[in-house]
Amino acid sequence: MTQRRKWTAIPGLLALAIGAVVLSAYSGASSSQNRQPVQPINFPHPLHAAGNLKLNCLYCHNTANKSPDPGLPAVGTCMGCHIVVRADKPEIKKLWTYYAMGGPTAKPIPWVRIHKVPDYVHFPHMRHVNAGVTCQTCHGQVQTMDRVYQYSSLNMGWCVKCHVNGYDPQEGLRATGYVPDTGRTVTPAGERKYARYDCANCHY
């Protein structure tokens, strides 16, 4: 009897091991999620995108709706205001040294990249932006982030979720955080936005 109890533990352990393997298959999911690097200039998104400025994302990332690249603001764009505004703040001083009044020592700000899909993936920003996918859907509520971090896993399953099940505009709107969350109303399949989801849509 006692002996039997001893070895009946073995199949149990085996089952656990199998379960662990299956779960570990998911561990490949974007290891870089929630990465929050330090930027050369501590740019406060809340100050610009929220607060009383409420700049539109497209003010700085001005090609997000017409190019695969969202676009980073040129240093000149920043200087547009900061040539006068808050010119005494240490972070702004950094900005000035980068700009150097367009002189020979001027150099672009080496921002640290956060959201990146592998290069065999083609992610045309404009198609998504023009389809009504809100920035926050993928990038999170940047307007509330003191330091931006990688919000989504950016792994393939995450992309495909929307492409197959369709994108719910209401949900996207809610994701922005600008409209109050008034209970979940799931949009019927017909009214969602669908995209093709065969490989060649993004991989070529």
Partner 1 sequence: MATTASQYPLNGQRPNIPSAAVRLPAVADYEQVDREIIGTLRPTLGWFTLLGIAVLCLLIGITAWMYQIYSGLGVAGYHPPVMWGVYIITFVFWIGIGHAGTLISAILYLFRAGFRTSIYRCAEAMTVFAVMTAGLFPILHLGRPWKFFWLIPYPNWRLIWPQFKSPLVWDVFAILTYLTVSSTFLYIGLIPDIAVLRDRETNPVRKAIYATLSLGWRNSDREWRHFTRAYLFLAAFSTPLVLSVHSVVSFDFAMALVPGWHTTVFPPYFVAGAIFSGLGMVFTIIIPIRKFFRLQHYVTLNDLDAAAKMCLFTSMVVGLAYLTEFQVAWMSGNKFEQEYFWNRVFGQWAWAAWIMLLCNMVLPLSLFSQRLRRNPSWLFILSLFINLGMWFERFVIVVPSLSHEYEPWQWGSYAPTFVDYSILLGSFGWFFMWFLLFIKQLPVMAISELKEVVPPKRKHPHPDEFEHSRDEGIAHPFITGEHELPGGAH
Partner 2 sequence: MSEPTKPAGVRRREFLKVLGAGTAAATAAACTYAGPEETGKLIPYLVSPDQTVPGVSTYYATLCRECSAGCGVIAETRDGRAIKLEGNPEHPLNRGALCARGQAGLQGLYNPDRFRTPMIKSGSAWRAATWDEAINLLAQNLGETRGRGVLGTGVFLNQHESGSFPAFLDSWLASYGMRPHLSVDFEADHGAIDAHRRAYGASWPRWNLADAKLVISFGADFLDGWGASVPHQLDFAEARAKIKDAPRFIYIGPRRSLTGLNADQWIASKPGGELAIANFLLGRGDANAASQASGVSPATLQRLAQEFASAKPALVLAGGGGDNGVELVSAAAALNAVKPAAGDAITSLDGIARTSDVIATVERMRTGQVAIAFVRGTNPAYALPKSARFADAFAKVPFKVSFSMFPDETTELCDLVLPDLHTLESWGDAESTRGTITLQQPAMDPVFTGTRSTADVLIAVAKKDSAVASRFADADYRAWLFKRLPGGGSAQTMTAALAKGILPGSSAARAAAPAAPAAITPAASTTGDFFLVTYLSPSLGDGRGANKPWLQELPDPVTKVLWSSWAEIHPETATRLGIERGDILEVKTSAGSIRVPALVYLGVRPDTIAVPLGQGHASPAQSTWFDGKDKAVQWGYGRYARAVGANALDLLPARSNAGGGVIGTTRCSISKTGEQTTVVSTEGSARQHGRGIAQAISVNEIDAHGEQVEHEVKPPGDAPHKFLPGLRSPVAADAQGELGSPTAADQGVLQGLYDPKNPAKMTKRRWAMTVDLARCTGCSACVTACYSENNIPTVGAPWQNGVVYATHSPGFNITRGREMNWLRLERYYEGAEDGRFTEDFEARFIPMLCQHCGNAPCEPVCPVYATYHAPDGLNVQVYNRCVGTRYCSNNCPYKVRYFNWFGYGEPDRVQYAFPDPLHWQLNPDVTVRTKGVMEKCSFCVQRIREAEHRAALEHREVEADEFTTACAAACPSRAITFGDAADANWSVTKLIEDERAYHVFEELNTYTAVVYLKKVNHPAGAVTAAEGATR
Partner 3 sequence: MPGIIGAFVEIDSAVEAIEDLRRNRFNDLTVYTPTPRHEFEHALEPPPSRVRIFTLIGGLCGATFGYWIAIWTSRYWPLVVGNKPIASWVPYTIFGFEVMVLIGSLATVFALLALSRVPRLTMTVGYDPRFSGGHFGVWVATSPDRAKEAAELLRKHGAVEVRHEA
Per-residue contact flags (x/-) with partner 3 for residues 4 to 23, judged by CB under 8 A? x-xx--xx------------
Taking the least distance from each CB to partner 2, the nearer of 19 and 110 is: 110
Binding to partner 1 (CB under 8 A): which residues in 178-197?
none
Which entry of partner 2, partner 3, partner 1, none binds 28, CB below 5 to 8 A by partner kind?
A: partner 1
**Which range binds partner 2 by CB under 8 A, 4-12, 48-56, 107-115, 139-147?**
107-115
CA separation, residue 112 to residues 20, 38, 154, 164, 203 (Å): 35, 7, 17, 32, 25
Which entry of partner 2, partner 3, partner 1, none binds 157, CB below 5 to 8 A by partner kind?
A: partner 1
Taking the least distance from each CB to partner 1, the nearer of 89 and 203 is: 203
Element housing 156 (H / E): helix 156-165
**Which range binds partner 3 by CB under 8 A, 3-11, 32-40, 115-123, 125-133?**
3-11
Which of 86, 147, 161, 203 touches partner 2 (CB under 8 A)?
203
Separation of alpha carbons 45 and 57, rounded Å: 10
Which entry of partner 2, partner 3, partner 1, none binds 124, CB below 5 to 8 A by partner kind?
A: partner 2
Q: Does 29 bind partner 1 (CB under 8 A)?
A: yes
- Phi-psi region for residue 154, left (φ > 0), alpha (ψ -120 to 50) or beta? left
Which of 24, 180, 199, 204 touches partner 3 (CB under 8 A)?
199
Tokens found for residue 57: 């994302």
Q: Does 38 bind partner 2 (CB under 8 A)?
A: no
The alpha carbon of 40 is separated from its chain's Cα centroid by a whole number of angstroms, namely 19
Which entry of partner 3, partner 1, partner 2, none binds 25, CB below 5 to 8 A by partner kind?
A: partner 1
Separation of alpha carbons 60 and 55, rounded Å: 9
CA separation, residue 146 to residues 5, 38, 85, 89, 93 (Å): 57, 11, 20, 17, 19
Beta bridge partners of 193: 167
